[in-house]
Amino acid sequence: MSRWPFAQILLVVAALATVPLLTASNVVLNFLTVALLIALVGQGWNVLGGYGGQYSFGHAAFFGTGAYVTAVLQMRYGVNAWMGFALGIAGGALVGAVIGALAFRSGLKGSYFALVTLAFAEVLRILASVAPITGAGVGTLIALDLRPQAFQFQSRAPFYWIILALVAGSLVIARLIEQSRFGAWLLAVRENEEAAKALGVDAARVKLAAMTVSAAITAAGGGFYAQYFLFIDSGIAYGPWISIEALLAPMVGGVGTVFGPLLGALVVKTLGELTKLVTGDAPGLDLVIYGGVLVLVVAFAPRGIASLPADLRARFARLRSSVPERADA
Amino acid sequence: MLSPTILIPALLNGLLTGAVYALVALGLTLIYGVLHIINFAHGALLTAAMFAAFFAHRLLGADPYLAAVVLTPLFFALGYGLQRFVIGPAAHGEDRNILLVTLGIAVVIENALLYAFRADTRALNLAYAFEVVDLGVAFVALPRVVAFGVVLAVAALLWLVLSFTDTGKAIRAVAGEKLGAELSGIDVDHIYAVTFGLGTACLAIAACLLIPTYYVNPHVGNAFVLIAFTIVVLGGMGSVTGALVGGLLIGVVESLCGLYLGESLGQIGIYVIFILVLLFRPSGLFGERA
């Protein structure tokens, strides 16, 4: 079946693009915007963690850099917001490349890689909480300037379309990775790094490239966050919450798949909202649910909810077929 | 340079604080040495233990040192159950899954505490918390000296258990050669859970030693666990000696960095060591080559 590889993406994005035409509800648009933001950040994580098998616990490092560069360039140096946003993405990519170069050159993988990414995110968080340029403990406020040139809008709809466009871009990147030779190298490194090296794949370079792209996508999420909420501080930008959301979305939706992060973000955010409806806005409870979901997904649907029916069927089939075997033995 | 009258107390306090760090790291390194997993729930479990010790005093009037007698077996059982019934079955034997499961558990515990007790910071007000001991060169707080002694005793006890008891020998056998141990009739799942339980029990003791002089809030464990990660990596993953020496070393480094750079930047010193060790000598000072 030779189909145009981007047909599914076009369909999904086109369907999502009609939402602001159907409803003017700020609640709905706000919910979807935040969910799409998490989908974007999650896709960033997915490029490195899903396709590359390198589980980062510190994607906050890239999210925060994107957010701070966007905000600080505007407020302190008078740079145009869109320009700041672009430089924020570049800054995030740079941070990703530096951390990646250090980590992969030293041959860190598995738990060690998770630890070193976590440590870098924490160092940046502490630096941002004391450095004067980031506003230290007070944080950075972006002045209200409701003009499209300033990346601010009167209504929610333009924000929604922008984040949707960014998500669409990230979906295309994921699909391109799947279709490309680079993607094949990346998957080879994930499945068996030694074997991939033996076949002539430059594993360190492939991982570094994946991490740079991953960081750039996540930094775009950070820059968008700054423009949407107009306020960041060290706990928001570099806090552990975003590192967790970044890996939770693809884990839930389907790690190493094009639509996994989007699906996962929608499911996780819906769960979060439902919890709030039931219990009121209690701090911590939504994260209790997220943590529980993470454990349950790993235990029962390691390939994500999209593959859950197939996985369960396989499990039942195994159970059924194992009964006579055991009787024989 | 600062005068010895400031430097020596800072060094001593660093050593005493480092002892408790070492105990937290001991639990982490024990679990790593046997199960070969990094327990990301370690910090959250420490926080839970500190809350337990806090409320044991607030509600039941139990002295933290006495509470340790009850909390230690309780947390052993908790750790045993977590590994046996949650982490083990959920992970399907894959390292990546274990990372995620322990992270998930950490998020659940930390935020359940946040939900139950809010972000408020609480502290006990014990009479003996402010007593000091004259060590000749400096005065140090009594609870810190007690903590130092207890940590050394726990480390010695742990060493005895690992060296001379059947369970200890089984633990070392599983750490060294899992398949071989399994073939000689050792119940590996049970030993894994026992090890996880021992690591968690270390946290209960650490919590009871900390609570007289420290505060507790739902995020308090995070600070300790990143320090513990640093110690474990510095001392060599799985090395008990490494955890002890690394703990004392990090305590001193933190104390001196705090003195020269100020409180919040003082933490940076630890992270920088952490990253440098990870990058340039991931096997640590006492660990085998990875």
- Using DSSP's 3-state secondary structure scheme, residue A154 falls into coil
Residue A69 sits in which domain range? 7-328
> Is A1 inside any structural domain?
no
Which DSSP letter does residue A142 get? P
Asked if the structure places residue A89 within a domain, the reply is yes
Interface A-B: count of C-beta contacts within 8 A: 125
Q: Name the phi and psi angles at B122, rounded to 5.
A: -120, 150
- Residues in chain A, total: 329
- Selected for mutation to probe chain B from A294, A300, A311 (highest B CB count within 10 Å) is A294
Spell out which residues of chain A touch residue B94, defining contact as CB-CB under 8 Å: 302
What the block records as the tokens of B25 is 């790291």
Q: Tell me how far apart the alpha carbons of residues B91 and B37 are, in angstroms, rounded to a whole number.
A: 11
Mean pLDDT confidence for A180-190: 94
Determine, for residues B104 and A298 on separate chains, whether the beta-carbon distance falls below 8 Å.
yes
Pairing verdict, β B132-134 and A140-141? unpaired
What's the first-to-final CA gap in chain A, in angstroms? 44
First to last CA, chain B: 39
Least confident of A62-71, A82-91, B142-151: B142-151
* pLDDT value, residue B290: 40
| Pairwise CB contact (< 8 Å): B100 & A102 | no
Q: What is the identity of the amino acid at A137?
A: G
How far away is chain A from the Cα of B64, in angstroms, using its nearest Cα?
A: 27
- A chain contacts of residue B109, beta-carbon cutoff 8 Å: 291
> Nearest 5°: phi and psi at A199?
-90, 5
For residue range B174-221, list pLDDT tens digits in order. Answer: 988 888 998 989 999 999 999 999 999 999 999 999 998 888 988 888
Averaged confidence pLDDT in chain A: 89
- Residue A2 covered by a domain: no
Contact across the interface for A291 and B105, Cβ inside 8 Å: yes
Predicted TM-score (pTM) of this structure: 0.85
- Indicate the residue of A120, A126, A284 with minimum beta-carbon distance to B114: A284
pLDDT of A73 strictly over 90: yes
Model confidence band, residue B263 (pLDDT cutoffs 50, 70, 90): low
Q: Which carries the bigger pLDDT value, residue A303 or residue A125?
A: A125
Q: Is residue A284 part of a domain?
A: yes
3-state SS assignment for residue A41: helix
Q: How many domains does chain A have?
A: 1
To the nearest whole Å, the CA of A300 is away from the closest chain B CA by 7
- Counting residues of chain B whose pLDDT is more than 70, the rounded percentage is 96
- Are residues A290 and B105, on separate chains, in Cβ contact within 8 Å? no
Mutate to test the interface with A, among B40, B96, B254 (most CBs of A within 10 A): B96
Q: Which of B96, B115, B279 sits opposite A283 (nearest CB)?
A: B115
Tens digit of each residue's pLDDT (9 = 90 or more) over A245-260? 999 899 889 899 999 9
Which letter, b or e, does each residue of B199-219 get, where b requires 16 or more Cβ atoms within 10 Å of its Cβ? bbbbbbbbbbbbbbbbebbbb
Report CB contact under 8 Å: A106, B279. Answer: yes
Closest of B32, B178, B42, B147 to residue B102, by C-alpha: B42
- Please indicate whether, in this complex, the C-beta atoms of A116 and B278 are within 8 angstroms of each other: yes
In a domain, A21, yes or no: yes
Q: What is the mean pLDDT of residues A274-295?
A: 81
CA distance B158 to chain A (A): 26
Choose the closest CB to B282 out of A112, A123, A287.
A112
Interface of A with B (CB under 8 A): 53, 55, 57, 102-103, 106-108, 110-112, 114-116, 118-120, 122-123, 126-127, 129-130, 240, 244, 247, 251, 282-285, 287-288, 290-295, 298-299, 302
Alpha helices in A199-306 (DSSP H): 203-229, 234-237, 240-253, 260-279, 285-300
Task: Mark out the alpha helices in chain A (DSSP H runs).
Answer: 7-17, 19-22, 26-45, 60-77, 81-105, 110-130, 156-179, 181-191, 193-198, 203-229, 234-237, 240-253, 260-279, 285-300, 308-328
Residue in A closest to B36 by C-alpha: A111
Assigned domain for A269 exists: yes
Task: For residue B264, list chain A residues with Cβ-Cβ distance below 8 A.
Answer: 126, 129-130
Q: Sign of the CA dihedral A207, A209, A214, A216?
A: positive
How many of the other CB atoms lie within 10 Å of CB of A9? 21
| C-alpha to C-alpha distance for B267 and A119, rounded to whole angstroms | 11
How far apart are the CA of A18 and the nearest CA of chain B, in angstroms? 35
pLDDT attached to residue B178: 86
Share of chain A above pLDDT 90, in %: 57
| pLDDT confidence band for A328 (50 / 70 / 90) | very low
B108–A122 CB contact, under 8 Å: no
pLDDT tens track for B18-33: 999 999 999 999 998 8
Q: Which pLDDT value is given to residue B287? A: 60
pLDDT tens digits for range B33-91: 888 888 889 999 999 999 999 999 989 888 889 999 999 999 999 999 999 999 988 88
Phi, psi dihedral angles at B274 (to 5 degrees): -55, -55
Per-residue HEC secondary structure of chain B comes to CCCHHHHHHHHHHHHHHHHHHHHHHHHHHHHHHHHCCCCCCHHHHHHHHHHHHHHHHHHHCCCHHHHHHHHHHHHHHHHHHHHHHHHHHHHCCCHHHHHHHHHHHHHHHHHHHHHHHCCCCEECCCHHHHCEEECCCCEEEHHHHHHHHHHHHHHHHHHHHHHHCHHHHHHHHHHHCHHHHHHCCCCHHHHHHHHHHHHHHHHHHHHHHHCCCCEECCCHHHHHHHHHHHHHHHHCCCCHHHHHHHHHHHHHHHHHHHHHHCHHHHHHHHHHHHHHHHHHCCCCCCCCCC
Assess: ipTM above 0.85: no
pLDDT in tens, B100-114: 899 899 989 999 999
Q: Which residues of A touch B96 (CB under 8 A)?
A: 53, 55, 110
pLDDT for the residue B1: 55
Candidate from B90, B112, B271 with C-beta closest to A122: B271
For residues B194 and A286, the model is more confident at: B194
Tell me the chain A residues in contact with residue B105 when contact means C-beta distances shorter than 8 Å.
291, 295
The amino acid at B30? L
In a domain? residue A245? yes
d(CA B17, CA B9): 12
C-beta atoms of A114 and B99 within 8 A: yes
| pLDDT score of A32 | 95
Residue of B nearest to A243 (CA): B103
Q: A282 and B97: CB-CB below 8 Å?
A: no
Q: Which residues in chain A are closer than 8 Å to B97, comparing Cβ atoms?
A: 298, 302
Q: What is the pLDDT of residue A279?
A: 74
What does the mean pLDDT of chain B come to?
86
Instruction: List pLDDT tens digits, range B230-254.
Output: 888 888 777 888 888 889 988 888 8
Q: Do A55 and B96 touch (CB under 8 A)?
A: yes
Q: Are A119 and B264 in contact (CB < 8 Å)? A: no
pLDDT at residue A329 in the model: 38
Q: pLDDT (tens digit, 9 = 90+) per residue, B63-76?
A: 889 999 999 999 99
- Angle made by CA atoms A229, A235, A236, in degrees to the nearest 5: 25
CATH number at residue A293: 1.10.3470
Of B86, B118, B274, the CB nearest to A295: B86
